């Protein structure tokens, strides 16, 4: 089913965690209409492409996918005109930017699955206007602009009847930013694909290298991983690309190997073989640490954000799946790596696997679609086969 359902997603330019969440709804509601700011067919999933996808007029701008984040100031005006749905029976937005500003008719439920309140207006001002500087006219204009966007973001939270957060961390942020309570439903992790080894395949052994996997953005703090491995003389493999890659390469020594972007099969192979995954940044949820645990790999992560909810720390856990460190500093990460190396025997790959299965895709489908059933007052939503 899905008739009368409107789905809203910020933009569809690639396949990341948010799009994997949307894919579940696309398979469950093939008759739904999907609205988005930008759409690149073939860049997400077949189920998403099979929907009736309605992008905004921004999608007609030449090569807009290369610079769309710079259009943030015009997003509110686009949304106010385009995302009004008086005929919808249910609106479901999946939002980290503007999707939750979609407007349903009075009395019609609007559930927003919130990856985060708009980061650019609340937590990531410096990153968004990087290069503007702390002083001068440009900085004052930037601050005034983001003040207006934040006020709009706060006001449009009133259009949401039901907030669902991707983690307890984000639930707290929703309450801090919007003054609203929310249900917590963790995102899906493909534990059928990310496994210690395929059935009948000889399990690879753990090798002597640490691993980071992600888009190479400054806030992910992979500089800490590089510096910690340099200090300890440990091998580090970096999988990913992004705006911080050049600066990371400058500080890296011979013990660090950059593989760039890699397909899922290569990532899975490395997760099966690595000594441990390093995850030094603060994330809203963080799918990669769960994928690592699904492959039986320990995780050494900053004990903030989503990782604090998905990794069982060596301290205080009968079945630890990793080590959490307190501060985003090299010394803190080095100490965590040394603590891990002294206690390698405490980490059971099967315990890591069991922890990862708590976040499986079937679990997400049951919880999210069941929640939507309740929101609609008992009107059924078809489950994916």
pLDDT at 129 exceeding the cut of 60 = no
Tell me the two tokens of residue 67. Answer: 């610079």
What is the Cα–Cα distance from 96 to 107, expressed in whole angstroms?
24
Angle at 284 between CA 229 and CA 248, to 5 degrees: 30
Nearest alpha carbon to residue 53 among 68, 62, 43: 43
Helix axes 222-232, 330-342, angle to 10 degrees: 60
CATH 3.40.50.2000 residue window(s) in the chain: 210-357
- The per-residue pLDDT for range 238-259, each reduced to its tens digit, is 999 988 999 999 999 999 999 9
Which residues, including other chains, have CB under 8 Å from residue 303's CB and lie 6 or more apart? 313, 324, 325, 326
pLDDT band at 121 (very low <50, low <70, confident <90, very high): confident
User: How many CB atoms lie under 10 A from the CB of residue 330?
Assistant: 18
Q: What is the 3-state secondary structure (H, E, C) of 160-177?
A: CCEEEECCHHHHHHHHHH
**pLDDT of 350 strictly over 50:** yes
Q: 186-230, pLDDT tens digit by residue?
A: 999 999 999 997 655 555 678 999 999 998 888 899 999 999 999
Sole residue written with tokens 């999707």 = 99
In CATH, which superfamily holds the domain spanning 210-357? Glycogen Phosphorylase B; (3.40.50.2000)
User: Going by DSSP bridges, is the β-strand pair 103-104/90-95 parallel, antiparallel, or unpaired?
Assistant: unpaired
Percent over 90 (pLDDT), the chain: 79
Q: What is the pLDDT of residues 300-346, one digit of tens each?
A: 999 999 999 999 999 877 899 999 999 999 999 999 999 999 999 99
Decide the pairing of beta strands 276-279 and 210-213: parallel
Band the pLDDT of 64: cuts 50, 70, 90: very high
> How crowded is the C-beta side of 131, counted as CA atoms within 13 Å?
1
Position 178 scores a pLDDT of 96
More confident of the two residues 145 and 128: 145
CATH no. for 5-188+360-375: 3.40.50
Give me the chain's average pLDDT, please: 90
The C-alpha atoms of residue 370 and residue 376 are separated, in whole angstroms, by: 10
């Amino acid at each position: 089913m899905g008739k009368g359902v409107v789905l809203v997603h910020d933009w569809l330019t690639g396949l990341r965690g948010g799009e994997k969440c949307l894919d579940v709804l696309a398979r469950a509601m093939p008759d739904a209409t999907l609205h988005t700011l930008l759409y690149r067919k073939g860049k997400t999933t077949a189920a998403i492409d099979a929907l009736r996808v309605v992008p905004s007029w921004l999608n007609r701008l030449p090569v807009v996918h290369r610079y769309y984040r710079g259009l943030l100031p015009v997003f509110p005006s686009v949304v106010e005109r385009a995302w009004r749905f008086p005929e919808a029976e249910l609106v479901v937005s999946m939002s980290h930017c503007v999707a939750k500003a979609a407007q349903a008719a009075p009395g019609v439920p609007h559930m927003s699955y919130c990856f985060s309140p708009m980061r650019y207006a609340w937590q990531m001002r410096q990153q968004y206007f990087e290069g503007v500087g702390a002083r001068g006219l440009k900085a004052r204009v930037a601050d005034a602009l983001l003040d207006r966007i934040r006020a709009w973001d706060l006001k449009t939270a009133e259009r949401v009847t039901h907030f669902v957060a991707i983690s307890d961390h984000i639930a707290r942020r929703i309450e801090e930013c919007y003054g609203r309570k929310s249900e917590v439903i963790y995102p899906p992790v493909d534990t059928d694909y990310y496994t210690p080894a395929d059935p009948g395949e000889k399990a690879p052994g753990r090798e002597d290298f640490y691993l980071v996997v992600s888009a190479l953005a400054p806030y992910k703090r992979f500089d800490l991983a590089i510096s910690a491995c340099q200090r300890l003389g440990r091998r580090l493999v970096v999988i990913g690309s992004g705006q911080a890659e050049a600066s990371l390469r400058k500080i890296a020594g011979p013990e660090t190997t950059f593989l760039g972007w890699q397909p899922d099969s290569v990532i899975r192979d490395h997760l099966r073989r690595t000594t441990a995954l390093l995850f030094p940044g603060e994330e809203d949820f963080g799918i990669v640490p769960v994928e690592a645990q699904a492959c039986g790999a320990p995780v050494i992560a900053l004990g903030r954000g989503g990782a604090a909810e998905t990794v069982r720390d060596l301290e205080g856990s009968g079945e630890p799946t990793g080590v959490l460190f307190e501060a985003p500093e090299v010394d803190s990460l080095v100490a965590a790596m040394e603590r891990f190396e002294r206690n390698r025997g405490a980490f059971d790959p099967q315990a890591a696997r069991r922890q990862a299965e708590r976040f499986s895709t079937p679990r997400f489908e049951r919880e999210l679609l069941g929640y939507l059933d309740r929101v609609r007052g008992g009107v059924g939503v078809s489950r994916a086969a």
